[in-house]
Structure 1
Amino acid sequence: MKRFFLHFGFWFVYTLQATLLEMVWMEPLLHKFTQWQQWWISLHIIMVLNIPKILLAYYLMYVTVNRVLNEKGSLRKNIGMAALMCVLAVLLYRVIFNHYVIPYAIYDLAPQKKLLDISRTLLAVMDIGFAAGVAVAIRLGRIQLAGKDREKKLLREKHATELKYLRNQTNPHFLFNTLNNIYALARKKSEDTPDVVMKLSKLLRFMLYESNKDFIPLTEEIRMLDDYLELEKIRYSDRLTITFYKELDAETQMVAPLLLLPFVENAFKHGVSETRFDSYVHIALTLKKGMLTFTIENTKEDNGKDKVTDSIGLSNVRRQLELMYAHHTLDVYNQPNTFKVHLTINLNNHANLALYHSGR
């Protein structure tokens, strides 16, 4: 129905403007009629002359254009058929004009002797060509816009699928690291093992229900980080110092889930766990007017390697940042005894991805 009204609107507007032009063009022949009669005579003429224009326009739009775009038949054949239809439309136009418009629409004028008079045939070509050309141009424009919309939709779906995969990859990666922690405590027959299992259960509950959402409040992400840090404190006890500074100006600010956890995991897996002496993890998180600043620094052993190598978690979060937040900076500093990450994100400028998660 929408398409019908769009087409009707196009031909309605075209007919009105063509009628006005026809009144001006035919004024010398219609001077004996009133202005209102001139209007109806001109409208009558345009209506009957629209027949070949409409036939040609719809043939070009829905036969020629579709066949060329879908590569049906050779290009030469399609162009030849379009040219033949143009010729037939011009002939029909001249027949209608010569044997109907002149003797009937303009009242009792004698038909022209030459059906294909050069000047009048050229006028017919221009008249038909303008109407059909505009219609085809609009059709091609709509096809191009629809193609761009489909391309954008496919790109969004591709990014959404990739983002879902990255998030699903984070879960087993986190579980693997945490189970290693529990295994280490169990081997020591630590009394803290039950508490660790309970905290792990709480974290997994978060991942099961919250990580499937597109966005969660930043306060929930921080709460999950606090739980993870508590878990690590149990494992490393006195030889680890953890500080977590937070300053938020809006607790309702939304953020993509599990975006900060990989940085914290990395600090323990590739820093603290490989350090033989007292170590620390310092974290600072601030939010001001939608701008998130996250800094994490941890001690590490001097292994003589200054080159930064991404773990699964860091590579994963880099890609998530690229997909979700165009305006962000991520700087990694690998010093002999410390490893530092500095992240800034404009949380108000995020990608609008249509995510489809299982169970939603």
Structure 2
Amino acid sequence: MPGRKSKLYIHLLFWILYYILEVYLDFYWSRYQFPNVEWQIRLQNTVILELGYLLVKIPLAYALLYVYERTDIRRFLTCILSVIIFIAAVLAHRFFTHYIIYPHIYGIVETLDGKQPSGFLNGLVAFNSFMDLVFMAGLIFGVEITRQKNLLKEQISKLKSEKLDQELTMLKAQINPHFLFNTLNNIYGMALKKADQTPDVILQLSKVMRYNIYDAAERYISIDKDVENIKDFLQIQKIRHHDLVIRFNENIDNPSQEISPLILIQFVENAFKHGVSETFGKSFIHIDIQLKNDVLHYHIENSKEEKPHGNSTKIGLKNIRRQLELLYPKHILTVETTNERYIITLIIDFNDTFRF
């Protein structure tokens, strides 16, 4: 329905502008053909004349558009029908000009040079009628093709946006659920021991889950909310990893800067799942978040075993990389690994980010 309204408005505007153009051109030309006629009468005749021509041109235009847009008609048949429509339009144009305009509007006989009478199908005047109709058809086809291309671009852009949303939703849904189950098991153990930290852990877990369920459903949130979620996540992990050394540095000059939720936390989750959790000795995780002049520098280092189990970390990083490609195509992500640690650095320039 919105597309039909848009088409109606565009075509209505086209015919208004086309009518004004034709009135201007014919009025300008009439002062040479009828130099002794007052301009008020010439203008009146031109206005009436072009209204009459619209009765020929509008049916021609939409008959051609109808044939052009029919996908069930073969190209050869389309050409034949277009020729027939044009011949009928030229005949109607000549009939209107020869038998109505000159004798009834101008009150004279149509002539070629001001002296010699013109026949109904004289070659020169028929060619003029043909060119007038071709000019009009070219304009309306140009307008309609441009409108359809713009509409197609909007539809493609909308489909791409919807596809991105669906893909991001699926990628976010792949975040590991083991964190929730392990935390609940730890809370259960703490409850059995009647540990004093139990209520605090439950509160922090509820905040993390609220963030993942509600805030993460938004396309963008403020970076201070995202950082707060990371802090809650780290506090819970401290309960699970008693020997864990956490260093967290934060320097944000614009807390309201928007970022896609769950991007930063995934690197931290990945560090615990494939790094800290596999470290049998003293484990550590160092996180540094810097936001200055709308440029984010995110740095994570975490401990690892010299010979980690399997290569499951590649799956998590693949997920994160795909999200970054969709959301921040010009990001810079570097992943380094040594015998003792993983090092990840992410740079996002929010000044050069596509928002969909």
Q: TM-score, normalised by structure 2?
A: 0.87
1:308 deviates by 7.9
1:135 to 137, 140, 144: 140
1:179 deviates by 2.3
1:110 deviates by 5.9
Q: How many residues align?
A: 344
Question: Residue type matched to 2:214 in 1?
Answer: Y
1:109 deviates by 2.2
Residue 149 (structure 2) pairs with residue 147 (structure 1): no
User: Structure 2 vs 1, CA of residues 91 and 267 (structure 1 numbering), >3 Å: closer, same or farther?
Assistant: same
Q: TM-score, normalised by structure 1?
A: 0.86
1:28-84 deviation line (CA, Å, top 9, x unaligned): 4412211221222233332222322221112122x12321xxx22212112211111
Aligned Cα root-mean-square deviation (Å):
2.6
1:33-48 equivalent positions in 2, closer than 5 A:
33-48=37-52
Between stretches 227-236 and 10-19, larger displacement belongs to 10-19
Between stretches 85-94 and 43-52, larger displacement belongs to 43-52
Look up the match of 1:66.
69
Question: Residue type matched to 2:182 in 1?
Answer: N
1:83-122 equivalent positions in 2, closer than 5 A:
83-109=83-109, 112=117, 114-122=119-127
Higher normalized contact order (CA 8 Å, seq sep 6+, divided by chain length) = 1
CA contact (8 A) 2:274 2:312 kept: no
Q: Secondary structure at the match of 1:27?
A: helix
Identity %: 28
Look up the match of 1:356.
none
1:197-224 deviation line (CA, Å, top 9, x unaligned): 5533332122222211222221121111
1:223-234 equivalent positions in 2, closer than 5 A:
223-234=228-239
User: Structure 2 vs 1, CA of residues 177 and 312 (structure 1 numbering), >3 Å: closer, same or farther?
Assistant: farther
Between stretches 188-197 and 118-127, larger displacement belongs to 188-197
2:241 to 236, 240, 243: 236
CA distance in 2, matches of 1:230, 1:304: 25
Between stretches 244-253 and 190-199, larger displacement belongs to 190-199
CA contact (8 A) 2:294 2:351 kept: yes
Q: Secondary structure at the match of 1:48?
A: helix
1:200-349 equivalent positions in 2, closer than 5 A:
200-237=205-242, 239-303=243-307, 310-349=313-352
CA distance in 2, matches of 1:28, 1:298: 88
CA distance in 2, matches of 1:254, 1:88: 62
1:95 deviates by 1.0
Runs of 5+ in structure 2 lacking a partner? Answer: 112-116
Look up the match of 1:357.
none
Q: Secondary structure at the match of 1:78?
A: helix
1:164-202 deviation line (CA, Å, top 9, x unaligned): 1222222xx1x3134235547878987668464553333
CA distance in 2, matches of 1:263, 1:87: 71
CA contact (8 A) 1:304 1:336 kept: no
Q: Secondary structure at the match of 2:280?
A: coil
Between stretches 110-119 and 10-19, larger displacement belongs to 110-119
1:343 deviates by 0.4
Runs of 5+ in structure 1 lacking a partner? Answer: 354-360
